[in-house]
Structure formats: structure tokens, C-alpha cells
């Protein structure tokens, strides 16, 4: 019995039932507060700020907006400002100062249809370079915005003329290890994963994983691309080793089946880039650890370098709810603390123990 | 006839009887003993030993030892008395029979009782075993729960401690900032530099003052705008790609492709038709226009010709069914809707609308023919495909009521 309890345990610390559908939750950096974003039943959007205090969460602030809010990020703001960028159901991108939320700091009609995913880079004291926000939408386009430039995006990845559009379901920044380099990875509902290089403004790599892509994430945004995890429908996720790109075979990958349902989210632990958690449509969470292979690259028949994928091992799993867990966020300040929200209108604060011993 | 053993020997005391029965050539395993309170029988084929005891003995306390070519019976007397003879003397055959039968019955009863007692004991044992197992498992579970609870409490306390630490650090920072501001103001006032500043200066306060000046980090300018054109892996259906549905989707696409190609071109009646009229699509359009202008017979003709050319397009059958409905050719309408539904397998979300239409038309035809049960089945099928259609739901309700006889059929 004592052997099994050396594994990390996922403990549900606080559970709060909300009266609206919550789509996304994010920790406010350098604090014990988090925001929940969603939509009320009357069709308006809501942002709520909660603080974790002594075994329960207290509502600090509630902000109501006209359009329901699908996603948000703090990734691009400085630690002093801590602005929240949100994407809403009408395709609008807004940046809010949570102290004065009446008027957005930055606002633009980013897309014609709902913004499904948003990510930010360049802020929070992590990495160098300009602060940027990327949004992916149902209209098939992925656009990169700079909060200092009004109205028009700094990069636009759109379908070619006459091409039928596919929904973009997820976006992620990565490879931002110096001021100029940036990469954006986008996943679409027809199974396409595309990697765009913003420095050269070109498509660097694309592949198709045969199931709609629900979530992509690099293990770290601010280093040279190391690993990318892509989760999909039908209970599968793939881990790509991004250090070695083969001209025709692309990146090496290992895939796992988990959750027996759609894998909605993947999130890497900020303190250890080889540990990540996946959230499934059956309300379960799986904690995984990636093990690197002995040699990360080898030569193929034509003497060209190609990558070698490692192994993924399950550390712990827990079922929290009967509804899909739609969003999850690790706290960047305290290792093991995370907040997640599910479609049963609850938000849960979880503590994962013993991560320093993994 | 079994051989009766007559050369047995016996001795007795006040309370016990010892009988020795020699067993010639019979093994211990094959000996069958029947004993009752007044009757004793040993059967070791082909030998038989029978004894009708003079007085009753206590059967449960008695014992028999088999071995070494003989059996030794140790019988406890019921009443302590010396027996004249071992066996009853001068008893008639009938009595003997009765005694024998009673003995057998008693033996059987005993055997039954023993068996029942054994079963009851076994059950009690099993129950006890189960209860102990359950208790052990319950204890284990509780132990694990407790450990988890302890972990949880520890983690929660750690969290609170960390939060406290953050709060204290934040307060420190605020206090330090205040001190620095004071220090700056004091410096401004004492431009001559007489040091009468508080001692806390010499600490890290001075260092942090310098680092607290707004770090003018020059951010790079916004990126120069660019566009990347992308192509998607082609996909016919607007829904997301799922591996498990791929075979069904391929089947449907293949069917559509085949239907488009199947043109039956070598019918003699086609000789005097124009080029246009040989195109099933064009004929379908014509049929639709005629339907819209309420010329139902002509529409049926158009669809007939189109079907002769290409009998695999489900939409032709669907539309002809609608015409037959209007013309009150209800049986033909049912036939055509059924043909259409056959062609619309496998069921994918793409042809859900057509399937709903087919079910509704067939349902209506059934109801007109007063076959309400079949009609309701079709309406229910339509609802299953598309539960959001209010008119279908309302009609299904009406039919249900008609079947139940609450509303007179209209």
C-alpha cells in the first residue's frame, strides 16, 4: 500500500458550483486568484475573479459582457499590468484590465466567427521579444496580434483562394527563444496540424493525425522547440519530438490512447516540462511523464537525421466529474496547484502532490 | 442368496457389548454397515451378518472397527443390564421384518438429519468467512482513506503557508517602497548630504531602490505584417474527422459516385428525346418546377423518365413520393419513400435531411390510409434523426392521440 502512495496524488481541494457554463479558467500570475470565463444562460458573457482562501474560493469580482467568452490568456502581459485577453463568440478579441473592466484596453473584430482558441507570448517575464496574441477561429484563419498595433494582425494564416475552410480548434505559441524567433502551431477539425514560422512567415511543417485536433501545446514557449503534445478526438494524443525535423518524414512521434473519449486539454507543468496532464471527455484527468529515448536522433537509410520518440508513462489518474473537463491551468507560482473547469458548471482547485519526487 | 455369518463371538459388561464378526475374504472398503438402536447388519458381499439385539443400544455412541479380517463392534447399552442372549430369540418373521424396516427408516432419517446439519454448518462457516473478509477489506479501505485525508490536509496547510508567505513578502515590498520614497524625499531636502537618514538604509533598501526604477526594457517593434496561405487536407463532410466513422463515410461517398455514373442509355424510347431530356438532373429540375406549379401528373412523368435513366438517385424517389402524396396515390407514395430510404443507407449526418423528408412523407401516406401505427413509427424515426423539428413533433403527438382514441380522426 505504501508503494502506491509514493505516486503523485491528485487531490480535489475545493469545488465550486457555478450558475453559468464555464469555458476557460486561468490563474492570475503571482497571486492566489484565478479567473473563470463563460456565458450566462441569458446569452451574455461573464468573467469572474475568485481567490483561494482557507479551503474555499471567494468571489472577488464579476464582470458581465455582451458576448459570451470562449477563451482567455495572460501570456502576453507584463507582471505589473496583468491584463487578460479574451476571445468571444462573435469573433472579437479584447484585452481587459481587471481593475477597470468597463472599457477594454485593446479591442478588435478579429474574426468573422467564434474564436475557439487563444494564446499569448512575450509577457510575464518569460522570454524576450514583442508581446503577441494568437487567435484561431471557426472561420479557418489563425491571426497573430500585437497589442500595440491597432486593427490589423501582424500575421494571418488563411486558406488559399477558393479553398474550403476548416474550423481551427486550437493554437499555441512556441520556439520563442530569442527576440525574433516565434512559431505558432494550429490544430484543425479535419486532423491537420500546421506549424508556422513567424520569422520567415512560412509554413514549416504540417501533418494529419486522422482525428480532429482538440488541443496542442509546446512543453515550453520560451525555449527552442523541444516537445509538442497534440490531443484529438477518439481518445488519442500524440507527443512529437521537435528537436529533429526530417525533410520528408517530419517529426518523430509517439501516440497513446487514453480516457476512452475525446481528450479535451493537455497542459504541461510549468516547473517540469516532462510532466503533463490530459483532461478527457469522461471527466477524468491523467498525469503523464515523458521519458526521453537513449538517443534523440538517429540516421536513416539516406544518412539524414531523423528524430526518435520516447515513451509516455501514466503516473496517476482520477475521475472528477461525469462531464468533459474543458479547461485546466497549472499555477505558475506553486508547483502542483491547478484549477480546472468542467461542463457540469463547476470549477475545481486541485493539488497534485509529490511532483518533486517524480 | 448372501451367506449368513453365524460364527461371531460376543462379550459384555454392565454397560457395553463387544461383538466380533469375522470377515472372510472381504476387504474393509467393501463393507457396508447399517446400524440402528435394535438392529445391526453388516453386508460384505457375498456375506451377510444380521443381529436383532435383545435390548436397545445407543446407536450414536456405538462404534465399529474394521480391520484384520474382522469387525469389532463396541455398543453402549441403553440400560445397564446383563443380556442373556445377544439376539432376540423366537421372534416371528413378521416382527423381524418390522424391526428391519424400522431400522432402515431410522438410518435414513439419521442420514438426512446429518446431511442437513452439515449443510447448515457449512453455510454458517461460509457466512462467517465472508464477514471476516468484508471486515478486513473495509479496514484496508479506511486506512487508505485516512492516508489520503492526511495528504490532503497537509497539502492544504502547505498552500495556506505559501499564501501567507506571499502576503508577507508583498507587505515587505510595500513597506520598503515607502521607506525608499521617504529616503528620496529626505535626500531632496538635505542636499548638503548630512547623513541623518535612518539606519535601514544600509540594508538592501538602497539596492532595491535602484532596481525599482522602472526597467525601461525596450520591446522590439511590432512584427511587419505577413500572410501565409494554407491548404487543408481535403474533406467532403463539414463535420470533424473521426477515425471510427471513416469507413461509413467512404461507403456513402462511393454510393453517391456510383449513382451519378449509372446512366441507362440504351433504352429504345430515348431515341426521340432531346439531349437535355436525357439528363436526369435536368429532368429532376423540370419535375420540381412542375410540382411547384401544381402540375403533379406532369411532374410524375418527368421523375419517371429520370428514374428510368438513373435509378440510383434517392432524391428522385423522394420527390416522386411527394407528387404521389398530392395526387393521393398513397401506396405509390409509400413505395417511393421506402425506395428512397433504401438508397439513403448508410446513415450519415450528410443525408439526415433527406431521410427526415422520406420518413415524413411515408408517415403522412400511412396516416391518410388510416394505418396510424405505421405512420407514428415513421414520424418517430424522423424525430429521432432531427429532434428539433417542431412541426414533426406536433404531428407525432396528434397521431398518438388519434391512436389512443382521445381525438376523433380528421
Q: Extract the C-alpha cell encoding A160.
A: 488559399
Measure B221 CA to nearest chain A CA, in Å: 7
Q: What is the pLDDT of residue A271?
A: 92
Supply the DSSP symbol for B5: P
Best-predicted range by mean pLDDT (A341-350, B271-280, B366-375): A341-350
**pLDDT band for position B200 (cuts 50, 70, 90):** very low
Residue of B nearest to A147 (CA): B222
Residue pair A353/A11 in contact by the 8 Å Cβ criterion = yes
DSSP B230-283: E-PPP-SSSSPP-GGGHHHHHHHHHHHHHHHH------GGGGGS-TGGG-HHHH
Confidence category of residue B197, pLDDT binned at 50, 70, 90: very low
In contact, B81 and B15? CB cutoff 8 Å: no
Please, what is the angle between helix B314-326 and helix B296-309, to 10°? 160
Residue B44 has pLDDT above 80, yes or no: no
Which residues in chain B have Cβ-Cβ distances shorter than 8 Å to A160?
229-231
Query: What is the residue whose three cell numbers read 472599457?
Result: A103
Interface contact B211, partner A, CB < 8 A = no
Residue A159: its chain B contacts at CB < 8 A? 229-232
**Residue B276 confidence (pLDDT):** 65
Burial of B4 per CB tally in 10 Å (0-12, 13-18, 19+): exposed
Given a cut of 80, is residue A71 above it in pLDDT?
Answer: yes
- Interstrand relation of B47-52 and A45-53 (parallel, antiparallel or unpaired): unpaired
B214 touches chain A (CB under 8 A): no
Q: What's the gap in Å between the CA of B239 and the closest CA on chain A?
A: 8
* Angstroms from A295 CA to nearest CA on chain B: 32
Check CB contact of B221 with chain A, cutoff 8 Å: yes
Chain A residues within 8 A of B160 when measuring between CB atoms? 54
B283, burial (CB in 10 Å: exposed 0-12, middle 13-18, buried 19+):
buried
Inspect the interface and report whether the beta carbons of A158 and B223 lie closer than 8 Å: no
Alpha-carbon distance of B337 to B319, in angstroms, equals 9
Interface residue of B142, B166, B222 to substitute, partner A, most A CBs within 10 Å: B222
CA dihedral B27, B28, B31, B34 (to 10 degrees): 160
**Which pLDDT band holds residue B202 (cuts at 50, 70, 90)?**
very low
Closest listed residue to residue A180, CA positions, set A122, A124, A126, A133 = A122
Q: What pLDDT, in 10s, does the model give residues B363-373?
A: 888 888 888 88
Residue B240: list chain A partners with CB under 8 A: 167, 189-190, 211-212, 233
**B148 Cβ contact partners less than 8 Å away, ≥ 6 residues apart:** A9, A11
Chain A touched by B223 (CB under 8 Å): yes
Q: Which residues of A touch B149 (CB under 8 A)?
A: none
Residue in chain B nearest A184 by alpha carbon:
B228
Mutate to test the interface with B, among A4, A8, A11 (most CBs of B within 10 A): A11
Q: What is the pLDDT of residue B153?
A: 84
- pLDDT value at residue B27: 63
Decide if B151 and A233 are in contact by the 8 Å CB cutoff: no
Provide, as residue numbers in chain A, all residues whose Cβ is less than 8 Å from the Cβ of B220: 129-130, 179-180
Average model confidence (pLDDT) for chain B?
Answer: 80
The SS3 assignment for A208 reads strand
Residue A218 — pLDDT band, cuts 50, 70, 90? very high
pLDDT for the residue numbered B20: 85
Question: Rounded mean pLDDT of B27-37?
Answer: 75
Report the percent of chain B where pLDDT is more than 90. 9
Q: How confident is the model at residue B147 (pLDDT cuts 50, 70, 90)?
A: confident
All three cell numbers of A287:
498525469
Q: Is the dihedral of CA A151, A157, A161, A164 positive or negative?
A: negative
For residue B46, is the peptide bond before it cis, meaning its omega torsion is within 30 degrees of 0?
Answer: yes
CB atoms within 10 A of CB A345: 15
Does B142 contact A at CB distance below 8 Å?
no
Q: Is B106 exposed, middle or buried (0-12, 13-18, 19+ CB in 10 A)?
A: middle
Q: What is the mean pLDDT of chain A?
A: 91
Cα separation of B304 and B280, whole Å?
10
Q: Are strands A115-121 and A132-137 parallel, antiparallel or unpaired?
A: antiparallel
- The whole-number pLDDT of residue B207 equals 44
What pLDDT score does B263 carry?
A: 54
**Inter-chain contact A188–B232, Cβ cutoff 8 Å?**
yes
Query: CB-based burial of residue B100 (10 Å sphere; 0-12 exposed, 13-18 middle, 19+ buried)?
Result: middle
Dist CA A307 CA B112 (whole Å) = 78
The secondary element (H helix, E strand) that includes residue A169 is strand A168-174
Q: How many CB pairs under 8 A join A and B?
A: 131
Flag if B244 and A234 touch (Cβ within 8 Å). Answer: yes
The answer, for B207 touching chain A at a CB cutoff of 8 Å, is no
Instruction: Look at residue A312 in the predicted model and tell me its pLDDT.
Output: 94
pLDDT of residue B101: 87
Note the pLDDT tens digit of each residue in A245-256.
998 889 999 999
Q: Which of A119-128, A290-299, B252-261, B340-349 has the highest mean pLDDT?
A: A290-299
Confidence of residue B203 (pLDDT cuts 50, 70, 90): very low
Query: What are the φ/ψ torsions at residue A105 (nearest 5 degrees)?
Result: -70, -35
Q: What is the pLDDT of residue B100?
A: 83
Name the 3-class secondary structure at B333.
helix
pLDDT at residue B199, as a whole number: 44
Residue A242's closest CA among A219, A275, A211?
A219
Which chain A residues are Cβ-neighbours of B228 within 8 angstroms?
155-158, 196, 201-203
What's the rounded Cα separation, in Å, for the pair A302 and A279?
A: 40
Per-residue pLDDT of A54-69, as tens digits, reads 788 999 999 999 999 9
Of A9, A233, A336, the CB nearest to B148: A9
Answer whether residue B95 shows pLDDT above 90.
no
- Indicate if the pLDDT at residue A28 is higher than 60: yes
- Candidates B216, B181, B179, B222; CA nearest to B201 is B179
Q: Which of A55, A130, A212 sits opposite B241 (nearest CB)?
A: A212
Among A169-178, B189-198, B359-368, name the one with the lowest average pLDDT: B189-198
Per the rule left: phi > 0, alpha: psi between -120 and 50, beta: everything else, A129 is left
Partner-chain contact B222 A149, CB within 8 Å: yes
Compute the nearest-CA separation of B251 from chain A (Å): 18
Helix (H, G, I), strand (E, B) or coil at A309: coil
Q: Do B148 and A154 touch (CB under 8 A)?
A: no
Note the pTM of the prediction, 2 decimals.
Answer: 0.65
Looking at residue B399, its pLDDT comes to: 84
* Rounded Cα–Cα distance for residues B369 and B41 (Å): 87
Angstrom distance (rounded) from CA A296 to CA A322: 39
Pairing mode of beta strands A168-174, A183-188? antiparallel
What the block records as the C-alpha cell of B234 is 481535403
Overall average pLDDT of the B319-341 stretch: 88
Of B156, B166, B224, the CB nearest to A55: B156
β-strand partners of A15: A348
Distance from the Cα of A294 to chain B's closest Cα (Å) equals 32
Whether the pLDDT of residue A4 is over 60: the answer is: no
In the predicted structure, residue A16 carries a pLDDT above the cut 50: yes
β-partners of residue A61 are A49
Contact yes or no for B226 and A154 at CB 8 A: yes
Beta carbons of A336 and B151 less than 8 Å apart: no
Question: What's the confidence (pLDDT) of residue B14?
Answer: 82
What are the φ/ψ torsions at residue B184 (nearest 5 degrees)? -60, -45
> Which of B10 and A235 is assigned the larger pLDDT?
A235
Alpha carbons A230 and A191: distance in angstroms, whole number: 10
Indicate the DSSP class of residue B349. G
The Cα–Cα gap between A149 and A176 comes to: 20
DSSP letters, B193-224, are ------GGGGTHHHHHHHHHS-----PPPPPP
Distance CA B393, CA A73 (A): 44
Q: Give the whole-angstrom CA distance, residue B6 versus residue B360.
A: 99
Q: In this predicted structure, what is the pLDDT of residue B217? A: 63
User: What does the buried/exposed string (b/e) look like for B206-231 if buried means 16 or more CB atoms within 10 Å of the residue's CB?
Assistant: eeebeeeeeeeeeeeebbeebebebe
For the segment B220-229, what is each residue's pLDDT rounded down to a tens digit? 888 888 888 8
- B241/A54 touch (CB, cutoff 8 Å), yes or no: no
Closest-CA residue of chain B to A331? B159
Q: Comparing A137-141, A181-185, A302-306, which segment has the lowest mean pLDDT?
A: A302-306
Alpha-carbon distance A235 to nearest alpha carbon in chain B (angstroms): 10
| SS3 at position A148 | coil
Which of the residue ranges A31-40, A311-320, A344-353, B67-76 would you say has the lowest mean pLDDT? B67-76
Whether the per-residue pLDDT at B84 is higher than 80: the answer is no
Q: To the nearest whole angstrom, how far is the Cα of A339 from the nearest Cα of chain B?
A: 14
Residues in chain B with CB shorter than 8 Å from the CB of A157 are 227-228, 230
Q: Is B233 an interface residue toward A (CB < 8 Å)?
A: yes
Contact state of B232 with A166 under an 8 Å Cβ cutoff: yes
Cell of B296: 403533379
Reply yes or no on whether the pLDDT at A125 is more than 90: no
- How do residues A130-159 score in pLDDT, each as one tens digit? 899 999 999 999 999 999 988 889 999 999
Alpha-carbon span B408 to B406, nearest angstrom: 7
**Which of the four pLDDT bands, split at 50, 70 and 90, describes residue A15?**
very high
Q: Name which of B230, B235, B239, B349 to mutate to probe chain A: the one with the most chain A Cβ atoms within 10 A of its Cβ.
A: B230
B163 to A194: CB separation less than 8 angstroms, yes or no: no
Most confident of A202-216, B81-95, B374-388: A202-216
Q: Does residue B136 sit at the A interface (CB-CB below 8 Å)?
A: no
B226 contacts A351? CB cut-off 8 A? no
Cβ of A198 within 8 Å of Cβ of B223? The answer is yes
pLDDT at B192: 55
Q: What cell was used for B78?
A: 441403553
Residues of A in contact with B246 (CB under 8 A): 210
Residue of chain B minimizing CA distance to A233 = B242
pLDDT for res A297: 87
Tell me what the mean pLDDT of segment B194-213 comes to: 44
Amino acid at each position: 500500500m505504501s508503494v502506491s502512495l509514493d505516486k503523485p496524488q491528485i487531490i480535489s481541494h475545493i469545488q465550486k458550483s457555478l450558475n453559468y457554463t464555464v469555458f476557460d479558467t486561468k490563474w492570475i500570475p503571482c497571486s492566489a486568484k484565478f479567473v473563470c470565463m463563460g456565458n450566462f444562460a441569458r446569452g451574455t458573457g461573464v468573467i469572474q475573479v475568485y481567490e483561494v482562501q482557507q479551503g474555499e474560493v471567494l468571489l472577488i469580482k464579476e464582470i458581465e459582457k455582451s458576448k459570451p467568452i470562449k477563451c482567455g490568456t495572460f501570456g502576453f502581459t507584463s507582471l505589473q499590468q496583468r491584463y487578460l485577453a479574451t476571445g468571444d463568440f462573435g469573433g472579437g478579441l479584447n484585452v481587459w484590465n481587471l481593475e477597470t473592466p468597463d472599457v477594454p484596453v485593446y479591442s478588435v473584430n478579429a474574426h468573422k466567427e467564434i474564436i475557439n482558441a487563444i494564446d499569448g507570448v512575450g509577457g510575464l517575464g518569460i522570454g524576450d521579444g514583442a508581446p503577441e496574441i494568437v487567435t484561431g477561429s471557426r472561420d479557418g484563419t489563425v491571426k497573430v496580434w500585437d497589442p500595440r498595433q491597432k486593427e490589423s494582425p501582424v500575421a494571418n494564416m488563411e486558406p488559399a483562394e477558393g479553398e474550403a475552410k476548416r474550423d481551427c480548434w486550437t493554437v499555441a505559441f512556441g520556439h520563442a527563444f530569442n527576440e525574433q524567433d516565434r512559431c505558432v502551431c494550429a490544430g484543425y477539425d479535419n486532423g491537420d496540424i500546421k506549424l508556422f514560422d513567424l520569422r520567415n512567415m512560412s509554413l514549416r511543417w504540417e501533418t494529419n493525425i486522422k482525428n480532429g485536433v482538440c488541443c496542442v501545446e509546446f512543453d515550453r514557449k520560451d525555449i527552442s522547440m523541444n516537445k509538442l503534445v497534440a490531443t484529438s478526438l477518439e481518445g488519442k494524443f500524440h507527443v512529437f519530438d521537435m528537436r529533429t525535423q526530417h525533410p520528408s518524414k517530419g517529426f518523430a512521434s509517439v501516440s497513446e490512447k487514453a480516457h476512452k473519449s475525446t481528450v479535451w486539454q493537455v497542459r504541461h507543468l510549468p516547473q517540469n516540462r516532462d510532466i503533463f496532464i490530459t483532461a478527457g471527455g469522461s471527466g477524468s484527468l491523467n498525469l503523464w511523464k515523458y521519458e526521453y529515448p537513449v538517443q534523440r536522433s538517429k540516421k536513416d537509410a539516406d544518412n539524414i537525421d531523423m528524430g526518435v520518440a520516447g515513451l509516455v508513462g501514466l503516473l496517476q489518474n482520477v475521475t472528477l466529474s461525469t462531464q468533459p473537463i474543458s479547461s485546466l491551468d497549472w499555477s505558475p507560482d506553486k508547483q502542483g496547484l491547478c484549477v480546472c473547469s468542467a461542463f457540469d458548471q463547476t470549477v475545481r482547485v486541485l493539488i497534485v502532490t509529490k511532483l518533486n519526487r517524480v | 442368496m448372501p451367506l449368513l455369518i453365524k460364527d461371531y463371538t460376543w462379550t459384555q459388561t454392565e454397560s457395553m457389548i463387544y461383538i466380533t464378526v469375522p470377515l472372510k475374504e472381504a476387504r474393509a472398503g467393501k463393507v457396508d454397515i447399517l446400524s440402528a438402536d435394535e438392529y445391526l447388519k453388516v453386508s460384505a458381499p457375498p456375506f451377510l451378518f444380521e443381529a436383532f439385539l435383545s435390548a436397545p443400544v445407543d446407536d450414536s455412541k456405538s462404534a465399529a472397527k474394521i480391520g484384520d479380517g474382522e469387525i469389532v463392534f463396541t455398543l453402549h447399552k441403553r440400560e445397564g443390564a446383563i443380556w442373556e442372549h445377544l439376539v432376540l430369540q423366537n421372534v416371528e418373521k413378521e416382527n423381524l421384518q418390522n424391526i428391519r424396516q424400522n431400522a432402515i427408516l431410522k438410518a435414513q432419517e439419521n442420514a438426512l438429519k446429518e446431511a442437513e446439519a452439515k449443510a447448515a454448518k457449512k453455510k454458517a462457516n461460509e457466512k462467517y468467512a465472508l464477514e471476516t473478509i468484508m471486515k478486513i477489506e473495509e479496514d484496508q479501505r479506511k486506512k487508505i482513506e485516512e492516508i489520503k485525508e492526511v495528504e490532503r490536509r497537509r497539502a492544504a496547510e502547505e498552500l495556506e503557508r505559501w499564501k501567507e508567505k506571499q502576503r508577507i513578502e508583498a507587505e515587505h515590498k510595500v513597506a520598503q517602497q515607502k521607506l525608499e520614497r521617504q529616503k528620496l524625499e529626505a535626500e531632496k531636502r538635505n542636499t548638503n548630504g548630512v547623513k541623518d537618514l535612518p539606519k535601514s538604509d544600509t540594508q538592501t533598501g538602497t539596492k532595491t531602490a535602484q532596481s525599482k526604477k522602472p526597467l525601461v526594457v525596450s520591446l522590439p517593434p511590432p512584427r511587419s505584417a505577413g500572410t501565409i496561405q494554407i491548404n487543408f487536407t481535403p474533406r467532403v463532410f463539414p463535420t470533424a474527422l473521426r477515425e471510427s466513422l471513416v469507413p461509413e463515410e467512404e461507403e456513402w461517398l462511393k454510393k453517391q459516385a456510383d449513382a451519378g455514373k449509372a446512366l441507362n442509355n440504351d433504352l429504345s424510347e430515348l431515341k426521340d428525346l432531346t439531349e437535355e431530356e436525357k439528363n436526369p438532373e435536368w429532368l429532376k429540375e423540370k419535375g420540381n418546377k412542375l410540382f411547384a406549379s401544381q402540375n403533379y401528373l406532369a411532374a410524375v412523368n418527368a421523375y419517371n423518365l429520370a428514374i428510368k435513366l438513373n435509378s440510383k438517385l434517392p432524391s428522385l424517389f423522394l420527390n416522386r413520393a411527394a407528387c404521389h402524396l398530392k395526387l393521393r396515390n398513397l401506396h405509390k407514395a409509400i413505395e417511393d419513400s421506402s425506395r428512397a430510404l433504401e438508397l439513403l443507407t448508410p446513415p450519415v449526418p450528410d443525408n439526415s435531411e433527406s431521410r427526415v423528408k422520406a420518413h415524413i412523407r411515408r408517415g403522412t401516406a400511412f396516416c391518410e390510409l388510416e394505418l396510424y401505427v405505421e405512420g407514428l413509427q415513421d414520424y418517430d424515426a424522423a424525430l429521432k434523426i432531427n429532434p428539433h423539428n417542431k412541426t414533426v413533433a406536433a404531428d407525432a403527438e396528434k397521431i398518438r392521440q388519434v391512436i389512443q382514441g382521445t381525438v376523433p380522426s380528421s
